[in-house]
Structure 1
Amino acid sequence: MSGKNITAKQPAGKSSPFLSELTLDCVILGFHEDQLKVLLLRWRGTQEWSLPGGPIRKEESVDQAACRILKERTGLKDIFLQQFQLFGDVERYNRNEIKEKLKHLVEPEKWFERAVSVGYYALVDYPKVAPTPDAFTEECQWWGIDEIPSLLFDHNHLIKIALESLRIQLSWQPIGYKLLPEQFTLPELQRLYETILGRTLDPRNFQRKMLGLGILYRLETRRKGGAHKAPYLYRFNKQHYKAMLTKGSLFFS
């Protein structure tokens, strides 16, 4: 969470266990019911929301800090993480406004005068996540990517940049099998790509491209319960998928 020094008051002569003025902000993404979702935290005693994050301990690497924070918020290990940008503008947001809104939780002098934040996005299997608030928040909840409220700090901007990075990296990162369940339909796969790209794809062209790449196994079972003819279920051939990512072959013009 940008700008917050969450350490307790240190005894005289003892330094903080955290790096000063450096924090993490994590855009945790899941895909559920044909919708890309992001995990947000609501601060105690307020209706104010923000991204998960926090300071970095002196004895851990930046990646280790991100893994620790993500495990605390989701309950998951071995999450796919990608560092996407460093946010270091001098005036990233109105610090006085933040201090006033959250003064019942954090003493105003505890906030960093300036915080440089390392931005990560994480791709998770939605049903496996156990959303868990931290010491300063009382709710941890998924929000649809098109329904995000006005967030504290500069976190709306962070999400915007994370999604732009995700679109750029769509052709060479394992986004499909990190966000989808093990078995899925072609319409579900198409909807994932459309949600990330922010535009509609022609179904015939999409299916022809995906099937032609050889990255999918068609199963003998079908998705049941829909109003139309039940589509076949597929799963990824991860070896071929990784080979196509190396070539950048999943690009959609």
Structure 2
Amino acid sequence: MPDTVKHVGTPAESQLSLLPLLTLDCIILGFHEDQLRVLLLRWKGTQEWSLPGGPVRKDESVDAAAHRILKERTGLDQIFLQQFHVFGDVKRYEREEIREKLKHVVDPEKWYERAVSIGYYALVDYSKVTPMPDAFTEECQWWDIQEIPPLLFDHNHMIDAALRALRMQLSWQPIGYNLLPDQFTMPELQRLYEMILGRTLDPRNFQRKILALGIVDRLEARRKGGAHKAPYLYQFNKARYEALLTEGNLSFS
């Protein structure tokens, strides 16, 4: 269609109410002290928490907007980012309840009638993140994924959906080396996958499976300072790991 020709629709279409806003919400995940954690924001003057997010600017792609928001909240440039779901129900949450809770932060008249949100999950090295609140919040901190409070909007539902997506994508996404430090123990790796899968794995079978896949290399060094025998440290063999991811053959079941 030539640039000078614009589709204006039928008279009936032109009278329809159009969707007012597109937003992003980001589930930022880190792994620390054998726990999977998610980054949350506390709104000013409240004990109300929510996920990081925001609107997409007119001059940026949705992926660029997600990277911008993540850098603003974490201080990191290079982040593994995956779009996992579009939240587009007509009624996603009780709008009047949100307006009342946050009326001292945002003018109730400025809340949009409806927004569709694109969900992203991000996998980060916990030790490298500097949590930073945004203009509407006064605290940004990590929460244990198993101890998340009731969140504003539909953000508890979003986290549940992100974890389901993560489990389904476990065999073809580089989950491990985006969440673990460069060197780790086999129990730490097992605990990470248990947290994602939501179930306990047999240690001997898990180690046998990992070693058979050839995705880790054992180092000569051991983890020191524990009460028990110091376990060996491992590193991912990224070439082998990524080859298996390409094949979709990285199964931990």
TM-score by length of 2: 0.92
Q: Distance in 2 between matches of 1:102 and 1:185?
A: 44
Q: How many residue pairs end up in the alignment?
A: 235
**Residue-by-residue CA offset, 1:181-202 (whole Å, 9 max, x unaligned):** 0000000000000000000001
Partner of 2:147: 147
**Residue-by-residue CA offset, 1:38-85 (whole Å, 9 max, x unaligned):** 000000000000000000000000000000000000000021000000
Instruction: Find the residue that maps to 1:57 and give its secondary structure.
Output: coil
Partner of 1:240: 240
Partner of 2:170: 170
Partner of 1:4: none
**Residue-by-residue CA offset, 1:146-205 (whole Å, 9 max, x unaligned):** 000000000000000000000000110000000000000000000000000000001111
Partner of 2:57: 57
Q: Distance in 1 between matches of 2:249 and 2:210?
A: 10
Q: Distance in 1 between matches of 2:65 and 2:196?
A: 27
Partner of 1:119: 119
Q: Distance in 2 between matches of 1:204 and 1:119?
A: 36
Q: 1:20, CA displacement in angstroms? A: 4.1
Partner of 1:180: 180
Task: Specify the structure having the higher radius of gyration (Cα).
Answer: 2
Q: 1:252, CA displacement in angstroms? A: 2.5
Two-structure CA RMSD over aligned residues (Å): 0.9
Partner of 1:93: 93
Q: Which runs of 4+ in 1 moved over 6 A?
A: none
Alignment of 1:14-163 (within 5 A): 20-163=20-163
Partner of 1:190: 190
Q: Distance in 2 between matches of 1:209 and 1:187?
A: 13
Partner of 2:13: none
Q: Which runs of 5+ in 2 are unaligned?
A: 1-18
Partner of 1:209: 209
**Residue-by-residue CA offset, 1:11-57 (whole Å, 9 max, x unaligned):** xxxxxxxx941100000000000000000000000000000000000
Q: Distance in 2 between matches of 1:251 and 1:204?
A: 16
Q: Which runs of 5+ in 1 are unaligned?
A: 1-18
Percent of pairs with identical residues: 79
Partner of 2:5: none
Q: Distance in 1 between matches of 2:249 and 2:206?
A: 13
Q: 1:249, CA displacement in angstroms? A: 2.1
